[in-house]
Amino acid sequence: MKKVAFHNLGCKVNAYEMELMQQNFRENGFDIVPFGERADIYIINTCTVTNIADRKSRQMLHKAKSLNKDAIVVAAGCYVETDRERALKDESIDIIVGNKDKKDILNIIWNYIREREDSGKEGECPYSVYETVSSLTDHTRAYIKVQDGCDQYCSYCIIPFSRGHVISRNEEETLKEIRELAEDGCREFVITGIHLSSYGLDMPYNTVAKDGSYHNEALTVLIEKAALIPGVRRIRLGSLEPRIITCEFLARMRALDCFCPHFHLSLQSGSNEVLKRMNRRYDVEEYEQKTELIRKYFDHPAITTDIIVGFPGETEEEFKETRDYLNRIDFYEAHIFAYSRRKGTVADGMKDQLTRNQKSERSAFLLKDSAIRKKRFMEYYMGRKETILVEETVEIDGRPYLVGYNKEYVKCGFCKEGDTGSSGSFMEGTVKGFINDDMLLLV
C-alpha cells in the first residue's frame, strides 16, 4: 500500500498543511500520484468556510472512493471538525482526521490498517513524522504557517469552531524552516495563519494596545529576522486585520528590501451598520485611515480585500454604501463572496436573509467595478521597469510566456522566445502593454 493521492481545498494554511502531509508520506517511501489516478490512499484536505466548500469537500471524498472502492479515503480538516456527525455516516469516508491531528496522520492510518487487517501487529507506527516543510518540489514560493486558530467570532464565521483558539508557532522553529527552504532554493515566502494578526497574542511580550490599534511586535520581529536569512529575496504577508497597521509596523516593513507591499486588509462590508451585525472590530472610518497610512509609507502599494455580499438584513442603501466605499478606497482587487449561512453561527439565526438572486445581482455589480479598478491599477506600470520571480511557462494564443509576479503581486509575462529565464529565476523588463486582462507584457 504505497500509492497516495492528495486533494486540497481552502486557504493557504490548508495548502501549507497539505504540503507537510505530502512530505511526511514522501519521506517515508510512499509514491505521490495525481488525484485522478488510482491510489491506495486518498487524502482530502477539506474546507468549511462556505456551504459550497462543504459540498466540494463531500464531492471529492465521493470521487476518491469511486476511483478505487478498496482504497482508504481520509477526510481531514475543517469540514469534519464542524460536521463530524455527517462525516461519520458517510460511507465514502474511512478515516476522519481533525486539524490538530494532521501531523499524526501516518500513525492514524497505520493503526487503521492494523485494526482492519486484524494482523496482530504490535508496536508504534514505523513511520517518521516531519513537523516542518523542509523541501519543495517545483515551487518558487513557500507558505509559512506561523499561527492557527481564531478568537474573533465574527457572527458569520464557522472557522473559530473548526480551528479553535489562537496558537502561535515558535519563532525559532519558524526561522529554521525558512532557512532550510531558502537553502533548498526557495526565494519567496508568504507568512500566513488562520488569523495572522493574532500571531503572538499568546506570547507574554507581544502587543501593546492603544486606541484600539496595536503594534504587533512579535510578528514584526519575526519578519525582520526572516529577512536576514541568506537567500530570502521576498517576504509577503497573508490577510491582516486593519488594526495591526501602525506607523511603527509600516516603517519597519519599508526598511526591508525584501518586503512586498501587498496588503490584504479584511473589510467584509463598506457599511458600518453591517460591520456591527458582523461583529467586526473596526468601522469604515478607521479602515480608511489605515489605507491612507499604507499609501503614506509606500508609493504604489497593492491593497486588496474581501467583501461579503448579501449579509442578513443588508439593505439597498447599505449595499450602495459598500459599493461607493470600495470605489473610494480604490482597491487593486476585491474578492467578492455571497453570504453563506453556516449552522452554529449567530448570523444563521438572523432575520431578513437575502435571496440567492439578490446576492448574485449585487455580486455582479461589485465584480464589474473590481475589474475596472484592477485594470486602472495595472496601467500604472506602463513604461516602468519591473522584476518578476518566474513561476511557470504558460502558452497564450500559441506563444509561450515566462510568467511570474512583481512585488505588488501583479502577474507579468515575458515572451519566452529567445529568453533564457526559467522557473525560480528573477527577470527584469519594461512593461509594454497587456497580454490579457490579468497579465502585463514585459520586454
> Tens digit of pLDDT for each residue in 311-330?
999 999 999 999 999 999 99
366, three cell numbers: 461589485
Regarding whether 60 and 36 lie in a shared domain, the answer is yes
User: Is residue 286 pLDDT above 80, yes or no?
Assistant: yes
For residue 175, tell me if it sits in a domain. yes
The pLDDT confidence band at residue 390, using thresholds 50, 70 and 90, is very high
User: Is residue 59 pLDDT above 90, yes or no?
Assistant: yes
Regarding whether 421 and 308 lie in a shared domain, the answer is no
Look at residue 30 in the predicted model and tell me its pLDDT. Answer: 93
The pLDDT confidence band at residue 229, using thresholds 50, 70 and 90, is very high
The three-point CA angle 231-236-239 to 5° equals: 155
Cell 479602515 sits at which residue?
287
The pLDDT confidence band at residue 406, using thresholds 50, 70 and 90, is very high
User: Is residue 402 pLDDT above 90, yes or no?
Assistant: yes
User: Is residue 340 pLDDT above 80, yes or no?
Assistant: yes
For residue 123, tell me if it sits in a domain. no
Average pLDDT, the chain: 91
Look at residue 27 in the predicted model and tell me its pLDDT. Answer: 86
Mean pLDDT, rounded, for 372-385? 97
DSSP 336: E
- Given a contact cutoff of 8 angstroms between Cβ atoms, the answer to whether 105 and 24 are in contact is yes
Look at residue 2 in the predicted model and tell me its pLDDT. Answer: 86
Look at residue 207 in the predicted model and tell me its pLDDT. Answer: 55
Structure-model confidence comparison of residues 104 and 303, the more confident one: 303
Q: pLDDT tens digits, residue range 147-187? A: 999 999 999 999 998 898 999 999 999 999 999 999 988 99
Count up the domains in the chain and report the number: 3
User: Is residue 120 pLDDT above 70, yes or no?
Assistant: no
Regarding whether 48 and 168 lie in a shared domain, the answer is no
Structure-model confidence comparison of residues 162 and 295, the more confident one: 295
Judged on CB neighbours under 10 Å (0-12, 13-18, 19+), 172 is: exposed
Regarding whether 435 and 317 lie in a shared domain, the answer is no
Q: Which residues contact 230 (CB under 8 A, 6 or more apart)?
A: 182
When mean pLDDT is compared across 50-54, 135-139, 367-371, the lowest value belongs to 135-139
Mean pLDDT, rounded, for 138-152? 87
The pLDDT confidence band at residue 215, using thresholds 50, 70 and 90, is confident
Regarding whether 159 and 40 lie in a shared domain, the answer is no
For residue 128, tell me if it sits in a domain. no
For residue 126, tell me if it sits in a domain. no
Q: Which residues contact 206 (CB under 8 A, 6 or more apart)?
A: 200, 216, 217, 218
Look at residue 339 in the predicted model and tell me its pLDDT. Answer: 95
pTM: 0.86
Structure-model confidence comparison of residues 29 and 418, the more confident one: 29
Regarding whether 320 and 241 lie in a shared domain, the answer is yes
Return the CATH number at 95. 3.40.50.12160
When mean pLDDT is compared across 138-142, 215-219, 267-271, 309-313, the lowest value belongs to 138-142
Regarding whether 19 and 98 lie in a shared domain, the answer is yes
Look at residue 251 in the predicted model and tell me its pLDDT. Answer: 97
Return the CATH number at 406. 2.40.50
For residue 134, tell me if it sits in a domain. no
Look at residue 204 in the predicted model and tell me its pLDDT. Answer: 67
Q: How many CB atoms lie within 10 A of CB 338?
A: 18
Q: pLDDT tens digits, residue range 86-109? A: 999 999 999 999 998 998 898 899
Regarding whether 226 and 177 lie in a shared domain, the answer is yes
User: Is residue 134 pLDDT above 60, yes or no?
Assistant: no
For residue 130, tell me if it sits in a domain. no
User: Is residue 136 pLDDT above 70, yes or no?
Assistant: no
Mean pLDDT, rounded, for 361-374? 97
Q: Which residues contact 309 (CB under 8 A, 6 or more apart)?
A: 319, 322, 336, 337, 338, 339, 359, 362, 363, 366
- Which of 333, 361, 379 is where one domain is finished? 379
Task: Name which of 339, 236, 314, 324 is nearest 288 in CA terms.
Answer: 324
For residue 136, tell me if it sits in a domain. no
Regarding whether 87 and 163 lie in a shared domain, the answer is no
- Which of 362, 379, 396 is where one domain is finished? 379
- Which of 340, 359, 379 is where one domain is finished? 379
For residue 240, tell me if it sits in a domain. yes
Regarding whether 225 and 193 lie in a shared domain, the answer is yes
Regarding whether 152 and 77 lie in a shared domain, the answer is no
Residue 403 structural domain: 385-442
Q: In whole angstroms, how far apart are CA 52 and each of 88, 290, 343, 378?
A: 20, 32, 13, 31
User: Is residue 417 pLDDT above 90, yes or no?
Assistant: no
Regarding whether 189 and 83 lie in a shared domain, the answer is no
